[in-house]
Structure 1
Amino acid sequence: MCNNLFAQSELGNITFNLDSSGINLIQQWKVIFEDNPEFANPNFDDSKWQGLESLSENYKGVRWYRQSINLEGELREFDFLAMNTSTLVSAYEIYWDGNLILQNGSVSNSLENEIAGEVFQLAKMPKDITTNGKHTIAIRLSNQNSNEPFVYPQIEIGYHEEVHDVLETFFNIQVLNGTVFFLAMLFNFAMFFGGGRHRAYLLFAIYCFVGLIDLVFTTYNLQNNINIALLPYFDSFYYIVSPLSLILLSVFFINNFEIPKRNLHIGIIATLSILLFLLIGRESIFLLSFYPIGLAIYAVKKRRIGSFTIFIGITAQVILAFLFAFGILSFGYTIGIIALVFCVNLSISRQIREQSEQLESSRLFSAKLETDLLKKNIQPHFLSNTLFSIISWIEESPQKAVELIQALADEFRLVNKIASKKEIPLFEEIKLCETHLELMSLRKDAKFKLEQINLPESEMVPPMIFHTLIENGLTHAFESGENGTFTLSCEKLDGNTHFKLVNNGSLLKELEKSNDEQISEGMGIRYIKTRLEECYPKKWEMNYGLKDGLWQVNILIKNKI
């Protein structure tokens, strides 16, 4: 949150250049665990005070800190110096050359009398006390309302405008980070509920939600400048949310990339998260970040789809978070979050696309196999029946048998011509149907005809669908020697094409006694449905049944261009 541009050689010798820009960090202090107002006097002899590095005891109560600073250069005309004291807890007073420039809360040696101050404070220094030369900063502090038994002050000093800008920039960055998590959470929840309920989206949405809650509390703290006494409650929340976010990210990796020994990994990351956060606090999040990186590396080695993309995202996020934490890149954490969210969603999208392609490929392959099988069975279906008829006619009427053989040859010629095609013009399908009716008229010694109503002859249709329906009708709807009529009509409306085939067979009366469940779907109907799905995936409807004593089959092809 600052640039370490301060000049510091040893304890008690810090220089701040008034001509420079940037913010200087003061973190070396002398300390004494006593309370005496003379400690604020710049002429007080603090040579016997200890340095922070030599202390090992924990202490609750009042203590003083002192440090000297040299101001060099010329103070800006329209600005003044200020100090950011946000790291101090829980009540304190700031003195500059013996002058009280900030009081935050009420310092006391007892918890009952100490009044905790607010988290974020700026100590503003009038121009008349920030002249060139040596100055003394003294801090009187008590920590009765803090969880920190010993306080290591880190005070930022610089021009007020720049110190204020740093705080405002930090707040805006947190808002931006929260916005990224919020949008990512909404997107992943939307993809989960509206995109097939893929578990990867749900897990990452929950991870984003936890990250958002963490940032909401941080932003609330910055915006409302909460009382320091409330910090323990915020810390308790952080101690829960921070490891939880790492656990959720690891669980996402484990599930998304099918990492073996799932429960073992979840147990390890949960245990490490709790132990490290208890031992070293929130800084442990950097160490824990290497666990999901290790999971991503494993997935890359196993060539899991999208694993390399996520590896790039999580690695970039960790590196950029380090740069942010050490003050090298102000927007490092934000850029890291964006990189992680982008790479994760890109990886999930690739996985789902791959799964969809595999599913579609399997479905088409299955449909092709079914179509090929049905074609191999549907074509010999009428052949066997016709050959039996030829055998009968050879003995009774050789001439009739010859005509039957000729008609059968004509039909075979047409079937061989069109059977392997995906679509054929309607007039070729009609010609095949009429040839079949002529053949069946000879075979059954009856008269069969096909009436046509509004048929667009150039319309493309899957081969043999009406031929199969007519063959089914001849088999199941007509008595031997019974004449019959089939009527095929077409109607176009709103881009949809509606075909209707009707027959008037006398055996239909028997079907009236059956319910829909008793009317079985034979090989012919399955063949027709398979060919329709092959040509018009999910864009067709087919129904059949008795209506007004006639058998009707309706085929609707949607949005057929």
Structure 2
Amino acid sequence: MQTAQRAFEMHFAIRYLFYLYLMYRFFFFTAFLLLMFTSCKQYNEYVKSDVTYYTDDDNDHHDYLGESEDSVFKVNIEVELFKRENTSTPLGLQVNAFGAFDVYWDNVLVGSNGKMAKSGQAEIPGTETTYYQIPEKLANIGKHVVTLVGTQLELQEVKRGIDVKLESFLRLHRAPLIVMSYMNLMAGAFLIASIYYFFLYINSTRKETTVLLFGIICLLFFCLLIIEYVKFYIDIPYTQFYIRMKIVGWLTFAISILVPWYFMLQFDFEKKRLFLFLLFTSLIAIYILNYNHYDLTAILFSDVMWLTSMVIASNAAARKIKGGLIVVVGLFASAAVNYFMFYDFGLFIAFTIIVLSMLYLHTIRTKAIEEAHNASLLLSSRLQLELIKKNIQPHFLRNTLTSLIDWVEESPQQGVVFIRALADEFDIMNSISEDALIPIRQEIELCQKHLQVMSFRKEVCYDWKEESIDENENIPPAIVHTIIENGITHSMPPKQGCICFCLSFTKEDSYKQYTVLTLAKNRKAKKDSSNGTGFKYIKARLNESYGNNWSFDSHAVEEGWLTTIKIFDKR
């Protein structure tokens, strides 16, 4: 027992340290990102630009394609360069546009994106974002013209415009790398957390839905981070630009359902099905009403998730459930971050804060489970002692030995049978005292030996019958034995015939059931036996092995006394 206790304490210590490690990583990265990006306007402008310029945004570039599907477009964009703080690094130009085109700076070719469609040659689509280095001799202060000449044979219906940006060429390339480094660290933390919780769910005897949900949420958030920033890893042709955004939308949709569901389960929220239905309906409505508005759809998904989670957490805080107030504070913090920061950063940091709140809730629940497990170990030890005491209590031994003396004196041969039955009962009792579950056949043998002993002691005929017993089933030790003891105590000896105990077993899809019917005339009860020692022992054993997934009923019937134990599947 001490070895098991030490192993349990070691297991709990390791898990506790791992939780602290995860929380440290989440907190560190969240705090660091908050400090780095508090003043961000765009994800690639988290540091002050060293180039000051003006772009003529009044020009409408949405209709530059013309009416012909294969026509070559030409767009002139006027820019004015006011200041360059660091002239030691080349000036860079960022272009965001669909198509395959050549880029000119003051009529000087500075680069190409894909290959334009020509007679007899298909278009090779370019990427949505490209960077170009401006020759130093052309990067002087003053007005300039950026010219794009190209074709766009696909996705002409979206009427996407053209945007240009001036920045240090080094910074244009370095900014995505720095952003990815932070996001990869965050994604790695979520991936580790998801793997750990999947393993925890698979290897846990208690298949808790919250553990599985948390693992799925962490995995989805990992995927969301990877998909969002995969554009920096691989070249995505403009023809496939919206595939990534659709995946981001559906991942956000799934997270927006699972996060409130997790809070519902953790806080025992009432009307879960109704709220989940309303949440799902709202998200579908947002998707339909804002179809093809990808960023707006994702933002609205997140807002609905936040609002639903806030309702659930506020309800929990009002009911004074532990952790409810912490989640409310975390949700307000996530809203503040999302409000003051650019959407890409704000969304992920807000999600991180929410996941931190979820992790805190899970640690609270895990601590409660560990405490319950520790209490069950103490209960198990007490039940073992109770099981042994049931058969070595003084009055039982005294009465049994007195009867044994009489049988040995009157019929030595039957006395030997009596001694062997008593020894066999003690042997079985000793072998099962430390087990939480034993085979049903071993329990039946214990009952049969006990009836044999009691038939000698009371000189009453006891009969045993069984029906539809599944030999592969297990049962907590001595609970049927305890029912038999109660039947012997509370049944009147018949003038003729035997007191019969009939054990039957049935198994359905959602539960299995043991029924013990005592066929005898019941004694008049002087007091309520439903809270007696025997029933307390049975309920404690059932609770130890099955948690709350059982029911116990024992009452008088016309034939005698009926006791039913129903064990439900853990789903």
TM over 0.5: yes
Distance 1:197 1:3, change over 3 A: closer
Query: Equivalent residue of 2:80, what SS?
Result: strand
1:75 to 1:346, Cα distance in 2 relative to 1, 3 A = closer
- Structure 2 length-normalised TM: 0.56
1:100 aligned to which of 96, 109, 129: 109
- Which residue matches 2:448? 518
Cα distance in 1 for residues equivalent to 2:116 and 2:65: 10
Question: Counterparts of 1:98 and 1:184 in 2: how far apart (Å)?
Answer: 53
1:230 maps to 2:240: yes
| Pairing partner for 2:148 from 125, 139, 158 | 139
Indicate yes or no: 2:241 matched with 1:317. Answer: no
Instruction: Tell me whether 1:475 sits opposite 2:399 in the alignment.
Output: yes
After superposition, the Cα gap between the structure-2 partners of 1:89 and 1:274, relative to the gap in structure 1 and judged at 3 Å, is farther
Structure 1 residues 209 and 72, CA gap change in structure 2 (3 angstroms): same
* 8 Å contact kept, 2:264–2:312: yes
Q: How does 1:234-249 map to 2 (within 5 A)?
A: 234-249=244-259
**Counterparts in 2 of 1:469 and 1:260: CA distance versus 1, 3 Å:** closer
- Aligned residues: percent identity? 15
- Counterparts in 2 of 1:123 and 1:505: CA distance versus 1, 3 Å: same
Aligned pairs for 1:12-51 within 5 A:
21=50, 26=55, 28-31=57-60, 33=63
1:350 aligns with 2:261: no
Q: How many residues align?
A: 387
Taking structure 1 as the reference length, the TM-score comes to 0.57
Q: What residue number does 1:152 align with? A: 161
Amino acid at match of 1:168: L
Inter-CA distance 103–259: structure 2 relative to 1 (3 Å threshold)? same
Counterpart-to-counterpart distance in 2, 1:98 and 1:136: 8
Cα gap change, 1:83 to 1:23, in 2 (>3 Å): farther
Change over 3 Å in CA distance of 1:296–1:95 after alignment to 2: farther
Q: Which amino acid is the alignment partner of residue 508 of structure 1?
A: I
CA distance in 1, matches of 2:249, 2:196: 27
* Gaps in structure 1 of 5+ consecutive residues: 6-18, 37-56, 379-463, 484-503, 539-561
Q: 1:224 to 1:294 in 2, by over 3 A?
A: same
Which residue does the alignment assign to 2:420? 509
Matched residues in 1 for 2:152 and 2:284: separation? 26
Q: 2:182 aligns with which of 167, 173, 182?
A: 173
3-state secondary structure, aligned to 1:30? coil
Look up the equivalent residue of 1:94 and give its one-letter code.
Answer: V
Show the counterpart of 2:214.
Answer: 204
Going from structure 1 to structure 2, the CA distance change for 1:475 and 1:158 (only over 3 Å counts) comes to same
Instruction: Assess, with a 3 A threshold, how the Cα gap between structure 1 residues 206 and 148 changes in structure 2: closer, same or farther.
Output: farther
Deviation at 1:104, TM superposition (A): 0.8
Gaps of 5+ in 2: 1-36, 43-47, 409-414, 426-444, 451-477, 486-532, 546-571
Which residue of structure 2 lines up, in the alignment, with residue 489 of structure 1?
none
CA–CA separation in structure 2 for the residues paired with 1:110 and 1:271: 50
How many Å apart are 1:470 and its aligned residue? Answer: 6.1
Distance 1:172 1:60, change over 3 A: farther
User: Is 2:130 the partner of 1:121?
Assistant: yes
Deviation at 1:274, TM superposition (A): 3.0
RMSD value, Cα: 4.8
Specify the code of the residue in structure 2 equivalent to 1:246: S
How many angstroms does 1:304 deviate by? 3.2
Q: Determine the C-alpha separation between the residues in 2 that align with 1:190 and 1:516.
A: 39
Query: Cα 1:513–1:308, aligned 2, differ >3 Å: closer, same or farther?
Result: closer
Superposed displacement of residue 233, structure 1: 2.8
Deviation at 1:88, TM superposition (A): 1.5
Distance 1:155 1:281 in 2: 22
Q: 2:260·2:308 contact (CA, 8 Å) conserved in 1?
A: yes
Residue identity matched to 1:516: L
